[in-house]
Structure 1
Amino acid sequence: MFFSIIIPLYNRPQEIAELLDTLTKQTYTLFEVLVIEDGSVDRAEDIVRGYEGELDVHYYEKPNEGQGFARNFGFERAKGDYFIIFDSDCLIPDDYLEIVNNALANNWLDAYGGPDGAHKSFTAIQKAISYSMTSPFTTGGIRGNKKGIGQFHPRSFNMGISRQAWQKAGGFIITRLGEDIEYSIRIHSLGFKIGLIPDAIVYHKRRTDFVKFYKQLHFFGRARINIYKFFPSQLKLVHFFPAFATLGMAFTIIANIAHWPIAQLCNILLLVYILLIFFHSLIKNKSAKIAFLSIIAAFTQLIAYGLGFMQDFWKRVILKRPLKT
């Protein structure tokens, strides 16, 4: 099978260099790479063209429209039987394409997703953020998990779609704010088979500090409401958890300030939650520093997602205002 790897890029030349370097080491070599520069000011053309001797790589530029439409641009120019999309801040293990090719040969999927993890080269903050996004004690526990809640939805940092499915479903119809989940739901609604390839892991850098991580997760919270506007049935109780947690933390602060009797119970529950995160991360990462940072990452994730979710739930569901990105 011939794969077309499609990577939207916006002002991240160093990241694309690291990603392309990992692709030169793939044990399965029947693939091309399409890099779509989406209106970047800090362009990566020279970096990408520097890999032409090692990869079947193609560089394109287009006006900025967002990652969803940049991927569509790549789909329309891809030659492969199967399209794979990565975020530019991913590192790809050497056997990734071999794993995917074997998995599809043994159990065909019209679209698939894979999990993400932390590479050994990541900083302690990046590893803590990776833990938070994949932990059972945060909303990240439902991502890339065999035991996920409800229908599995591939995410665009690590997602594949067959040419046949693309030809019938078309491309992304929204360019951001949950565009990958909407696309997954639409592909599934057309009768195509979607699943997780659990060993097709990528190392996803995400954000390099907690301020950037907060902004990203606030955006994710808003995106969940955007998906609701397309598919109301896809808004589940689990998606409210970060909002409930955020309100619970606010209530705990108020209870302590007001010296309410319930404050003690709230403090105990909060401490138990903190200890669960710390020791679970400590076991997984074998680092007290990362375990401590995982607490910060988990609370950043919950609060940012919760506030973004509540913001757009109020504006777009209660007040019925149109989307403003």
Structure 2
Amino acid sequence: MRRYSVVIPIYNRPDEIKELLESLTKQTYRNFDVVVVEDGSSIKCEEIVNSFKEQLDISYYFKENTGQGFSRNYGYERSKGDYFIVFDSDCIIPPNYFEELEKALNEKFLDAYGGPDKSHPSFTDVQKAISYSMTSLFTTGGIRGNKKSVGVFHPRSFNMGISRRVFEKTSGYIITRMGEDIEFSIRIINSGFKSGLVENAFVYHKRRTNFGHFFKQLHFFGRARINIYRFFPSELKPIHFMPAAFTLFCAFTILSAIFSSSVFFICSGFLLLYSLLILIDSTVKNKSLKIGFLSIAAVFTQLTGYGIGFLTELKRELFKEKK
């Protein structure tokens, strides 16, 4: 039986980690320990972590704030297992997660893996709409949880695992925020390690609870993609420009109302058709018309947030090169 170590970096979110730890106590596969790394929080979760000491093999560490990437490295260095797993603190883990992961790695070993995320029945309608937006094939979010994605699968750190050997060879994260997980995944693959998706090792990911926070998160993701370009220029693909193109198209549609009603009618027709597809797809998948309409708002928030962040950071990069 493979020994796993779960590393959880956390910053000012004690309520979230309680739900995560509760879900870990219900695992059918028990050969794992948990390392909680408090990243300089002003609202500590030590008391909550200690309340699970009789149910889990768990350790708590408090350190100065250095960001999530370096906090994961800190946790890796103190882990006991053969295989390290990272979860975001806003995840809930299904009871058979480790059982499914162990089965998958025994059938086809991966040096690094990532798993998809899904919406939990207890989530609010807004959270379910955001989850739909981030995982739907009608948006860029469907790429990372899709086994048929083009190219090698790049794990994301909300639900990601690496072997001890990967950490020893790569030394973990070299940037702590702004695309740190993408950079790490690329470097793992470039080092010759095998990476892939474990489809049944999914988590319930809460993400953000309102569209304002969701927009800020995706704006940061868009900036992060340009930051990855600074490390690996060849990793900036045409697909990464799609949210920016969508954002510019939306802006053009609004402006067209001023100078050409026919152009506005055509452009708004495309956006209306796109919205209708999202409405139908989300309504069927979530069995809720309300979530279907909220999903339209979530998709537009996701794409424009990412697009504006992408264009903002791209402008900085181009201006820097020109200067």
Q: Same fold (TM over 0.5)?
A: yes
The answer for the alignment partner of 2:199 in structure 1 is: 198
The answer for the alignment partner of 1:303 in structure 2 is: 304
Kindly state the Cα deviation for residue 144 of structure 1 after the two structures are TM-superposed.
1.3
Contact 1:4 1:33 in 2 (8 A): yes
Kindly state the Cα deviation for residue 318 of structure 1 after the two structures are TM-superposed.
4.0
Q: How does 1:112-123 map to 2 (within 5 A)?
A: 112-123=113-124
Q: CA RMSD in A?
A: 1.1
Moved more, 200-209 or 137-146: 137-146
1:210 matched to 2:211? The reply is yes
Could you tell me how far apart the structure 2 residues matched to 1:60 and 1:249 are?
Answer: 46
Could you tell me how far apart the structure 2 residues matched to 1:260 and 1:233 are?
Answer: 41
Kindly state the Cα deviation for residue 169 of structure 1 after the two structures are TM-superposed.
1.1
The answer for the alignment partner of 1:242 in structure 2 is: 243
Alignment partner of 1:11: what SS? Answer: coil
The answer for the alignment partner of 2:37 in structure 1 is: 36
The answer for the alignment partner of 1:66 in structure 2 is: 67
Could you tell me how far apart the structure 2 residues matched to 1:179 and 1:317 are?
Answer: 21
Could you tell me how far apart the structure 2 residues matched to 1:283 and 1:233 are?
Answer: 38
The answer for the alignment partner of 2:48 in structure 1 is: 47
Contact 1:110 1:192 in 2 (8 A): yes
Alignment partner of 2:299: what SS? Answer: helix
Deviations 1:68-124 (A, max 9, x none): 000000000001000000000000000000111111011000000000010000000
The answer for the alignment partner of 1:151 in structure 2 is: 152
1:138 matched to 2:135? The reply is no
The answer for the alignment partner of 1:181 in structure 2 is: 182
Alignment partner of 2:276: what SS? Answer: helix
Contact 2:256 2:264 in 1 (8 A): yes
Could you tell me how far apart the structure 2 residues matched to 1:118 and 1:260 are?
Answer: 41
The answer for the alignment partner of 1:263 in structure 2 is: 264
Q: Show structure 1 runs of 4+ deviating over 4 A.
A: none
Deviations 1:192-216 (A, max 9, x none): 0000001110000000000000000
The answer for the alignment partner of 1:163 in structure 2 is: 164
Could you tell me which runs of 5 or more consecutive residues in structure 1 were left unpaired when the two chains were aligned: none
Query: Residue type of the partner of 1:253?
Result: I
Alignment partner of 1:156: what SS? Answer: coil
Q: How does 1:53-132 map to 2 (within 5 A)?
A: 53-132=54-133
Could you tell me how far apart the structure 1 residues matched to 2:83 and 2:28 are?
Answer: 17
Contact 1:315 1:321 in 2 (8 A): no
Could you tell me how far apart the structure 2 residues matched to 1:70 and 1:23 are?
Answer: 20
Could you tell me how far apart the structure 1 residues matched to 2:264 and 2:292 are?
Answer: 26
Deviations 1:135-192 (A, max 9, x none): 1111101121112232211000000000011111111000011100100000101110
Kindly state the Cα deviation for residue 257 of structure 1 after the two structures are TM-superposed.
2.4
Query: Residue type of the partner of 1:131?
Result: Y
Query: Residue type of the partner of 2:229?
Result: Y
TM-score by length of 2: 0.98
Tell me the percent identity. Answer: 60
Could you tell me how far apart the structure 2 residues matched to 1:179 and 1:6 are?
Answer: 16
Could you tell me how far apart the structure 2 residues matched to 1:231 and 1:318 are?
Answer: 19
Kindly state the Cα deviation for residue 321 of structure 1 after the two structures are TM-superposed.
9.0
Contact 1:37 1:59 in 2 (8 A): yes
Query: Residue type of the partner of 2:195?
Result: I
Query: Residue type of the partner of 2:94?
Result: P
Kindly state the Cα deviation for residue 131 of structure 1 after the two structures are TM-superposed.
0.2
Q: How does 1:215-230 map to 2 (within 5 A)?
A: 215-230=216-231
Could you tell me how far apart the structure 2 residues matched to 1:260 and 1:65 are?
Answer: 52
Alignment partner of 2:207: what SS? Answer: coil
Could you tell me which runs of 5 or more consecutive residues in structure 2 were left unpaired when the two chains were aligned: none
Kindly state the Cα deviation for residue 260 of structure 1 after the two structures are TM-superposed.
4.1
Deviations 1:208-253 (A, max 9, x none): 0000000000000000001111011110101000000000000000
Alignment partner of 2:314: what SS? Answer: helix
Kindly state the Cα deviation for residue 317 of structure 1 after the two structures are TM-superposed.
3.3
The change in CA–CA distance for 1:124 and 1:140 in structure 2 (over 3 A counts) is same
Alignment partner of 2:262: what SS? Answer: coil
Kindly state the Cα deviation for residue 319 of structure 1 after the two structures are TM-superposed.
2.9
Could you tell me how far apart the structure 2 residues matched to 1:319 and 1:70 are?
Answer: 30
Could you tell me how far apart the structure 2 residues matched to 1:93 and 1:200 are?
Answer: 9
Contact 2:10 2:37 in 1 (8 A): yes
Alignment partner of 2:129: what SS? Answer: helix
Alignment partner of 2:252: what SS? Answer: helix
Could you tell me how far apart the structure 1 residues matched to 2:252 and 2:205 are?
Answer: 34
Query: Residue type of the partner of 1:113?
Result: G
Could you tell me how far apart the structure 2 residues matched to 1:316 and 1:76 are?
Answer: 34
The change in CA–CA distance for 1:173 and 1:321 in structure 2 (over 3 A counts) is farther
